[in-house]
């Protein structure tokens, strides 16, 4: 597949393939139709023949080239697989576009220190698990690490000690850098409420105050998460822009993780 892609990546060869798709043609005819010199045309045909895309038939002093559909079909099948993945993940590209637009908006608004202080966000989910199970996914480090990271990030360290003044730490890493936040738990009522803050370290710093509430309902747990932003620096604009989308993804991760773990436990 790599060799075929490389061969077809040349514009002149692609034109030759298009011409041969209609019918077999001689080197001279192809040279005339493409505007290339005959030696150039021959080299391109040899490159296509080497990867099996065309075949050559000597007819006296003439050499006639024809398309071989088999490798092209295999190449097309590979492209169909790629296209299927592209279409299946169209939502992720939409998320990226929304994030890009949000970064532009927030960057324009970040004209002073503390520019986003007081900004609030709220999220709700109906989790098909009882509150004590959901609580464990927030306070047990190994469970918390399994879902608290947006796509393309991995969790390096995460701690939420559910006692007043308990440690709150989260550190993410992607291919380019690591991002660490530290803070403290302010209030904790087991299986019901968890209040804590996290301050992002570095120049692009800001503090987020989190208020998590878990209410038992017939379907499982009604989860409500409130976020309030303080201490924002101008450099924090891209991070602020990603909060709504990022936390939407993260809470979806939580839902999927609980569902997957419960299904595994049932087997």
The pLDDT tens digits of the residues spanning 53-101 come to: 999 998 877 889 999 999 999 999 999 999 998 888 888 788 788 889 9
Identify the residue with better confidence: 136 or 172: 136
The reported pLDDT for the residue numbered 37 is 94
Look up the pTM and report it. 0.74
Q: Which of 85-89, 133-137, 187-191, 234-238 comes out lowest in average pLDDT? A: 85-89
Q: What is the mean pLDDT of residues 121-150?
A: 94
Query: To the nearest whole percent, how much of the chain has pLDDT over 90?
Result: 74
Closest CA to 125 of 225, 31, 26, 56: 225
**Residue 34: pLDDT over 90:** yes
Q: Which of 44-48, 97-101, 139-143, 226-230 comes out lowest in average pLDDT? A: 97-101
The reported pLDDT for the residue numbered 157 is 93
**CA separation (Å) from 119 to 61, 116, 123, 206?**
80, 6, 14, 11
Alpha carbon distance 196, 148 (integer Å): 15
Instruction: Mark 92-104 as b/e (b = at least 16 C-beta within 10 Å).
Output: eeebeeebeebbe
Count other C-beta atoms under 10 Å from residue 18's C-beta.
12
Q: What is the mean pLDDT of residues 108-114?
A: 93
CA dihedral 142, 186, 243, 108 (to 10 degrees): -150
pLDDT band at 266 (very low <50, low <70, confident <90, very high): low
**Residue 267: pLDDT over 60:** no
Query: To the nearest whole percent, how much of the chain has pLDDT over 70?
Result: 99
The reported pLDDT for the residue numbered 47 is 94
Alpha carbon distance 51, 8 (integer Å): 10
């Amino acid at each position: 597949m790599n060799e075929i892609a490389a061969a077809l990546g040349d514009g002149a060869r692609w034109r030759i393939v298009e011409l041969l798709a209609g019918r077999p043609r001689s080197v001279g005819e192809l040279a005339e139709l493409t505007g290339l010199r005959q030696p150039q045309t021959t080299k391109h045909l040899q490159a296509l023949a080497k990867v099996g895309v065309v075949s050559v038939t000597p007819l006296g002093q003439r050499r006639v080239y024809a398309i071989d559909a088999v490798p092209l079909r295999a190449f097309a099948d590979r492209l169909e697989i790629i296209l299927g993945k592209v279409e299946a993940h169209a939502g992720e590209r939409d998320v990226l576009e929304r994030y890009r637009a949000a970064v532009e908006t927030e960057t324009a608004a970040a004209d002073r220190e503390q520019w986003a202080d007081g900004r609030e966000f709220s999220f709700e989910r109906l989790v098909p698990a009882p509150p004590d199970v959901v609580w464990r996914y927030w306070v047990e480090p190994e469970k918390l690490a399994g879902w608290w990271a947006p796509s393309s990030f991995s969790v390096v360290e995460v701690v939420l000690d559910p006692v007043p003044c308990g440690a709150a730490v989260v550190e993410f890493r992607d291919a380019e850098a690591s991002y660490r936040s530290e803070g403290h738990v302010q209030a904790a009522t087991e299986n019901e409420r968890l209040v804590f803050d996290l301050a992002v370290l570095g120049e692009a710093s800001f503090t987020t105050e989190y208020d998590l509430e878990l209410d038992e309902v017939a379907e499982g747990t009604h989860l409500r998460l409130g976020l309030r932003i303080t201490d924002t620096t101008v450099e924090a604009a891209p991070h602020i822009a990603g909060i709504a989308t990022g936390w939407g993804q993260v809470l979806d991760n939580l839902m999927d993780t609980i569902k997957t773990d419960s299904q595994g436990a049932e087997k």
